[in-house]
Amino acid sequence: MALCVRRLVLAATLAAVVALLPCTSSAPLVRAAGVGDFTAAQRTNTLAVLQAFGRAIPDLGRKWMGADFCSWEFIECDRTGVFVSVIGAPYAGTLPEMPVDVDYTTVMIKHLDFSEMGLGLSGTLPASWSNLQLLSSVTFSGNNVSGTLPASWRLLTRLTELNVRDCVNVSGSLPPEWGSMGSVQWLTVSGVQLTGSLPPEWSEMASLKMLDMGAARNISGTLPADWKSMKSLLYLYVDESLISGTLPAEWSSMAAVKDISFKGAALTGPLPIQWSSIKTLRRVYLTNTRITGTLPSSWKDLTGVEHLYLQGTKLSGTLPPEWISMSSLAHLLLTNSLVSGTLPPQWSAMRKLRFLSLQGTRVSGSLPPEWCSMVLLENLQLSSTELSGTLPTEWSTMSPVKVMALSRTKISGALPAEWSALRSLEQLQLSGTQISGSLPPEWSGMPNAEILELQNCDLSGSLPPEWAAMPRLRMVSLRGNHFCGCVPDSWAQKVSLEVNIEDEHKGRDCSTDRVCPTTAAPQTTTTTTTTTKPPTTTSTKPPTTTTAEPPTTTTTTTTEPPTAPTTTTTEAPSEPTTTASPTATPTPAPETECEVDGCEVCEGDSAARCARCREGYFLTSEKMCRVNRDGGVVAVSIGAAAAAVVCMAVLLSVGLAA
């Protein structure tokens, strides 16, 4: 990710510079009509050098004929110089030495780019190229060139950009002499076989804006404290190196630095508290280093930091509540670090946070309801932690959340029906938790849900047919629970849906072998009164199935494909179920006696509570029937709205509401 960021930053910066050139130049930038725009000396000496390249790349030389080099393929001219680039893969050759008897003060070559030639270009990096006094940009990428970085290139006083990327045969050390290259702004030596240490002398590169040494696997030593004088440095990437020692506190005087990346280095020691004064800092990447200590509360002053990647480090201690002042923080990754303690409710004030990972850490306690105000949070990784408690209904207001990972935690309780309001949710990971109860039919209102990982929990009841209405659902993992019944036909008919559940819930005979038990209704003698006929009392035999606790599910299953959705509720009956031998069990009132609109069978002795809705309706947790819309279940908007009110009330109670 850091590599993508740095390339995007470089591309955007270069594009901005190019866009500004016409505005800052004293004369408009006009493409030269031809070699006639140059003096005779410039034409003669530039032609001599280009012919040297033609001889080193034979197929190119056969095309580069005559003296009008501005008309040659792969060459562009303007009044400032000659640009050579986009020489493609079919061409092969070597890097030429510069010819003698040439006045290099009049050689107009400014730009050499061999990145498109790939492995077709070989040869050593010529020291004689230091003669090209007007050269401002050189690029090698994925070429077969070899040798060391020539110390003589320090004489390229107008060089602003040098790229040597993924040239695996380039070796040697970083030349200390390059410290005198006062014009270099963009320096990339990534994916090469360099050894040695970072030269303190490079602190003299007064114009250097970016140093990219990604995959510097053999670079060792320590970070030079002298680099504190790099006042122009914006981006510093030295990844996958053997660099050891600590992060220099002296670097706090870097006045412009935005990105610092030492991923995979052998760095130790703490995060310098002095770095809290680097107001320009935007991104810090210290992934898989040996950084120790705690998260400095003083870093709260880094109000411009957007990305903080500290996963795989030895950082410990608690999460500082003071970090709420990091108002720009969007990505905070502490995966597999040693941090502990509880999740600070105060972090709900991090309104720009999009990606938070504490996976594999020692954090504990409950999920703060206050975090419902993280209105931009998209990815929350909390798996393999010591977190406990229940899933907050208030989190139903976290509408941008796409990924929520809570697997292998001690989270318990029911799946909140209110979470159907999580309209952006794509992946929910709750495997290996103590989640119980039934699957909420209301979740069918999640339009973007793709993967629901609910295996090895304590879930029970039937599988809601309504879930087939989730348009993007492609995997549901349910193994290791206590479900009854079968995979609904509506699920089986959804070709794109993969259901991971025990085989006993599948197959042609499942409907007869895996019928869900009927939950006993309240054990009383019931009198049902209507306005159209006298009160009646109905008794039945005692039920064959009783429970020691109030039942949590009521399921209707038939041996034929159901004509109405199988209904699963998450509430216990309004009166407790008893294990004593009952004298009578009520019979559900007929449809004509139900006062609930859309109800087919009322619940027990209550004409105001429904046990099963008609086709086209779904049963809410309040035992009411609501109309299906767009092939799915209407989201529990009342519950979600209530959760939003509770969220705001919670925030107000701690003084965090904006």
Task: Round to whole Å and give the CA distance between 385 and 167.
Answer: 42
pLDDT at 519: 52
Q: pTM of the entire structure?
A: 0.76
Q: Tokens representing 117?
A: 């030639």
What is the token pair recorded at 202?
Answer: 């490079």
Neighbouring residues of 408: CB distance < 8 A, sequence distance ≥ 6: 383, 384, 385, 431, 432, 433
Q: Which of 294, 214, 210, 215 is nearest to 259 (CA)?
A: 210
Spatial distance between the Cα atoms of 411 and 326, rounded to a whole number of angstroms: 29
Which of 3.80.10.10, 3.40.50.300, 2.40.10.10, 3.30.465.10 would CATH assign to domain 29-171?
A: 3.80.10.10
Q: Using alpha carbons, select from 430, 477, 428, 419 the residue that is nearest to residue 449.
A: 428
> Which token pair is 331?
């990505």
Longest dimension (CA), the chain: 121
- Kindly report, residue by residue over 270-317, the tens digit of the pLDDT: 999 999 999 999 999 999 999 999 999 999 999 999 999 999 999 999
Nearest residue to 296 (alpha-carbon basis) of 268, 326, 267:
326
**Both tokens of residue 85?**
């680039």
Cα–Cα distance, 552 to 595 (Å, whole number): 24
**Strands 75-78, 81-84: pairing kind:** antiparallel
- Radius of gyration of the chain from its Cα atoms, rounded to whole angstroms: 35
* Alpha carbons 26 and 45: distance in angstroms, whole number: 27
Half-sphere exposure of 93 (CA within 13 A, CB side): 19
3-state SS of 487-517?
CCHHHHCCCCCEEECCHHHCCCCHHHHCCCC
DSSP labels, 101-146: S--GGG--EEEEE-GGGGGGEEEE--GGGGG-TT--EEEEES-EEE
CA–CA gap between residue 505 and residue 513 (Å, rounded): 9
Q: Give the whole-angstrom CA distance, residue 247 versus residue 222.
A: 9
Provide the token pair at 653: 């109670």
* Triad 61, 65, 67: Cα angle to 5°: 125
Check if the beta carbon of residue 10 is closer than 8 Å to that of residue 186. yes
Tell me the backbone φ, ψ of residue 394, rounded to 5 degrees. -60, -25
In this prediction, residue 495 carries a pLDDT of 93
Burial class for 449, CB neighbours closer than 10 Å (0-12, 13-18, 19+): buried
Contacts (Cβ under 8 Å, ≥6 apart) of 630:
469
Task: DSSP for 589-653, please give it.
Answer: PPGGG--STTEEEEETTEEEEEEEEPTTEEE-TTS-EEE-BTTBPPP-HHHHHHHHHHHHHHHHH
Residue 412 near residue 390, CB atoms below 8 Å: yes
Q: 177: burial class by Cβ within 10 Å (0-12, 13-18, 19+)?
A: middle
CA distance 518 to 556: 7
pLDDT of residue 216: 87
Number of Cβ within a 10 Å radius of residue 279: 11
Phi and psi at residue 651, in whole multiples of 5°? -65, -40
CA 495, 498, 499, 505 torsion-angle sign: positive
**Residue 396 token pair:** 């139903």
Annotate 179-196 with b (16+ C-beta within 10 A) or e (fewer).
Answer: bebeebbbbbbbbbebee
pLDDT tens digit string along 519-542? 544 444 444 444 444 444 434 333
CA angle, 163 then 164 then 168, to 5°? 160
Say which DSSP state 98 is in: P
Same CATH topology for 29-171 and 389-507: the answer is yes
Give 10-residue mean pLDDT values along the chain (658 residues).
52 48 41 80 98 97 96 95 93 97 97 97 98 98 97 97 97 97 97 96 97 92 97 97 97 96 97 98 98 98 98 98 97 98 96 97 98 95 99 96 98 98 98 98 97 98 96 98 95 95 86 64 43 40 37 35 35 35 37 60 64 66 59 46 57 52
Task: State residue 12's pLDDT score.
Answer: 53
Tell which CATH classification among 2.40.30.10, 3.80.10.10, 1.10.260.40, 3.90.950.10 matches the domain 389-507: 3.80.10.10
Contact 381, 628 (CB under 8 A): no
Joined together, the tokens standing for residue 486 give: 């079968």
In angstroms, rounded to a whole number, what is the distance separating the alpha carbons of residues 559 and 481?
A: 23
What's the sign of the alpha-carbon dihedral 250, 254, 255, 257? Answer: negative
**No. of H helices and E strands in the chain?**
6, 39
- The CA distances from residue 650 to 158, 324, 396, 412, in Å, are 61, 17, 14, 21
Of 92, 99, 137, give the one whose Cα is nearest residue 119.
92
Of 299, 376, 374, whose CA–CA distance to 344 is shortest? 374
CA dist 482 and 553 (Å) reads 12
C-alpha–C-alpha distance, residues 62 and 98, integer Å = 19
Q: What is the reported pLDDT for 396?
A: 96
Q: For the chain, first and last CA: distance in Å?
A: 32
In degrees, rounded to 5, the angle at the alpha carbon of residue 236 between the alpha carbons of residues 351 and 294 is 55
584 secondary structure, DSSP code: -
In the chain, domain spans: 29-171, 389-507, 597-625
User: What span, in angstroms and rounded, lies between the C-alpha atoms of 323 and 320?
Assistant: 6
DSSP reduced 3-state for 230: coil
Alpha-carbon span 172 to 258, nearest angstrom = 29
State the virtual CA torsion across 606, 612, 615, 616 in degrees, nearest 10.
70
Is 206 strand, coil or helix? coil
